[in-house]
Amino acid sequence: TPISEAAIVGAAAGAALSGKRAIAEIMFADFVGVCLDQIYNQIAKFRYMFGGKSRCPVTIRLTYGAGLNAAAQHSQAVYAMLTAIPGLKVAMPSTPADAKGLLTTAIRDDDPVLFFEHKALYGVRGEVPDGEYLIPFAHARHVRQGDDVTIVTCGQLVRMAEKAADTLAEDGIGCDVIDIRTSSPLDEEAILDSVECTGRLVVADESPPRCSLAADIAGLVADKAFAALRAPIAQVTALHSPVPFARELERAYLPSPQKIEDAARRLMAFRGKDAS
């Protein structure tokens, strides 16, 4: 039978409303548009519209992301679009341990959770805690610690940020690398505390630049930590373009360790017009 994302999500919503803890899977996040009404106008709003008397504990797993030459309709990072919808929680693990901890938390949450799994990370190996293991939402992970530049990112770009930070460390530039883990709710405190220390911010985001997660975090820091900034905020994002199929073009389209490193070096070299 044909795959029907609207039916999958609609059935999961009905099961959740009737007392189950539903888990649905959308094979490619790119197809979320087919079931967007179920997500945007239904499950995200049930608790609000019924005065808190109903719950919709549904977890929707979505495979996303570029880097595997899957072309424009199977490679998109749409988490920013869904993060903008009130009533939804959005999680994006970057390690095997985080996948377990965040997914367990998602399933036990009484609100709907969109659980984004980057297809390029499915082959990653790592230690996973035995037994009961939960990671609270809005609890970012400090991947590297440093005093010069804050790098905020998520998903597969965490590994890229780590590589960039290791290269920069060889030249004495210390990077505070933050994996946000969840974009809604967002651990604002971790980001702002880091920027207060470093005074420089690079946000690496796989989604296109317009109305992106990078733009959202940059706006947050500009609003709440502007006085701490020593340089402009740098956003390293995908291009404002459909994801290319050709390997060379896709590589140019995506953020990379080199692009993150270059952005950090630009911030370190920045001197304001009034600086001596």
Query: Would you please indicate which residues are annotated as catalytic (active-site) residues?
Result: 74
- Rounded CA separation 116/222 (Å): 27
Contact in structure between 165 and 157 (CB atoms under 8 Å):
no
Torsion over CA: 135, 138, 180, 238 (sign): positive
Phi and psi at 99, nearest 5°, equal: -60, -45
Q: Is the CB of residue 257 less than 8 Å from the CB of residue 263?
A: no
Ramachandran angles phi, psi of 24, nearest 5°: -115, 155
Cα 233 to Cα 173: distance, rounded to the nearest angstrom = 17
The rounded distance, in Å, linking the Cα atoms of 17 and 26 is: 20
What's 136-152 look like in SS3? CCCCCEEEECCCCEEEE
In whole angstroms, what is the distance from residue 123 CA to residue 119 CA? 8
Q: Is the peptide bond before 257 cis (omega within 30 degrees of 0)?
A: no
Length of the chain in residues, anyone?
Answer: 276
Supply φ then ψ for residue 202, to 5 degrees: -115, 130
What phi, psi does 269 have (nearest 5°)?
-85, -10
